Every structure is written in structure tokens, then in C-alpha cells.
Amino acid sequence: MPKYNISSVSEASDPHKYRDYVYNRKTMAYYKLHIEENDKYDSEIVCRVEGSALILPTSAEDIAQVHGMLKEYPDIGNLVWIEGEEEYDSSEEEWHEESSSRCSVLNRYQGEVEDYSCYELLPFVCKVDAKDAPYDDQCNVYAQGYDYFSSIASCYKVIKQYYIWDQAYNECQQEGAHLVVINSEAERKVVWDLVKVAQKSRKALHSFFVGFRAERTDSGRPREFHTIFNETLDQAGYNKWSVGEPDNYLDSEYCGAVSYLDGKFNDVNCNSAHAFICEKEVPRRQ
């Protein structure tokens, strides 16, 4: 399974473009404000999935950048997660992790760093220096971790963070890829091998979102699944399901996934959170 070299955005592509991040010429870094709210630890994971890290302010320019982004959202509160040293309050007689773990936040108005319970839900800011922003020039994606398969002429990446289908779709798009669309039995076997490896490293992974879903129908009318390229599964070239699927459990399963047990299709709830697989087609090298 050959892997290609990872270069930085500043070396290999437009130095002022990285995903949907904002570039700051003074700091030569990219920033993104996530207005969705997470606790400190999930915020770190989201940044890591995006090839960045929770911001650790090191200059007045960092603070100004965060303040400028927050001004566009006056209704999201005063505090955002930033990176800093985690502290524990041991003064309580009975220590509880969730109540005692303290993490760093930035107060948007004072511009000062404060400590806050790590398990509260807040917006957060991710940052990556331009020289460190990952870009895979062979797969042409803004990310690390893609594997190229010459037999399929595609690059694939399994993302083990749990997202709902819409979030998974957006994450692949931001990397310059798309949710995987399986076009053949050969491609199913490649995808299945990848998800089996992912499942071994994280046993809780069972279903992985892929690039098809169905419109919600009137009661009794059959669903028709279409890929993200608006093809039926038959038109796409692969339409095999796990035993007993699709079952549309509780009339709530309208998005596509593959099972790690056999690599075949399963219908799942679009708003349940699963791991997912991104794909980027690569022209065959002559």
C-alpha cells in the first residue's frame, strides 16, 4: 500500500488557501472559529482531524485574530476554548474529574486567558502555521493519512471521529475529497480492508458513513438511494447490502454506511454519529 509524501501548503499549493480557514499574513498561519460548541477535549479532536490544533496564543496578533473572528458572531458568548495547561482543583474533599478539571479559555472582551471547567460546551479556535498545514500533492487533498490504491486509482482515508452524515460530507469536502462512493466489488474490498483496520484500533466502530442517501418518503412509498453524484446505486456500479438490510428501522434510516463485518451497505440514521470514509480520485500515472 504505497503512501505519498506529505508537503506543506506553503510549499505545494496556494499559500493563502487551506480548507475553509482564514489566513493571517502577519502570523503566516491559518485560523478557524468553530461556532458549534464542544468540551475542551472534543474541541482538540476536531482540530486534529482538520490537520490543525487548538490555538495556543503566542502573540498579540493571535489574540487580535480571534477577537476579529468573534466579532462576526456577537451572540455566541464571551468565552472560547484555547490551548493551555490543564489544572485540577484538589481543595474539594471528594475529587470529581468533571467538576475539578480546569482548562484555558479566552475572554473575548478582556482579551485575557481564564480557567474554566473542561467539560463545559464552548466555541473554539483551531490554528495551523502555513509551514505545517498538511497538503498531499499526489492525492491533491488538504490532509494527511490518505492511502493511494493504483488498482482503483483513488485515495482513501478513514476518519474515526464520530460525525453525523452532513458533518462527514462537509469534512471530506473541506479536505478536497468526498464521501466514498463505491463503484465496484473491487473497490468494496479495498474499503472493507480499510474499515477492518480502523475497527481493530477502535472497537466501538461498527458502521462507516459513505456517499449516498435517500430522500424521506411518504408512508409506504419505497426509498430510492442516490449517491452524492446523483446516481442510483446500480448506476454507480455497486448495490449489495448486508443481510437484512436496508431495513429502515423506525422509519429513520435514510443515509448510507458500510459495515465492518462484511464491507457491504447498511442504512443508518443520518443524525446518528459514525466514523466515515473520504475518497479522492487520482488520474492514473502514465
Under a CB-based contact definition with an 8 Å cutoff, are residues 3 and 148 in contact? yes
122-129 and 29-38 strand pairing: antiparallel
Under a CB-based contact definition with an 8 Å cutoff, are residues 77 and 39 in contact? no
Q: What percent of the chain has pLDDT over 70?
A: 87
93 DSSP assignment: S
Rounded CA separation 158/202 (Å): 12
35 DSSP assignment: E
Q: pLDDT tens across 72-96, in order?
A: 998 998 999 999 865 444 444 443 4
Judged on CB neighbours under 10 Å (0-12, 13-18, 19+), 109 is: exposed
Q: pLDDT tens across 112-124, in order?
A: 899 999 999 999 9
Domains for the chain: give ranges and CATH numbers.
19-131 (3.10.100.10), 151-281 (3.10.100.10)
Residue with cell 472560547: 80
Nearest Cα to Cα of residue 105 among 51, 46, 38 = 38
pTM to 2 decimal places: 0.83
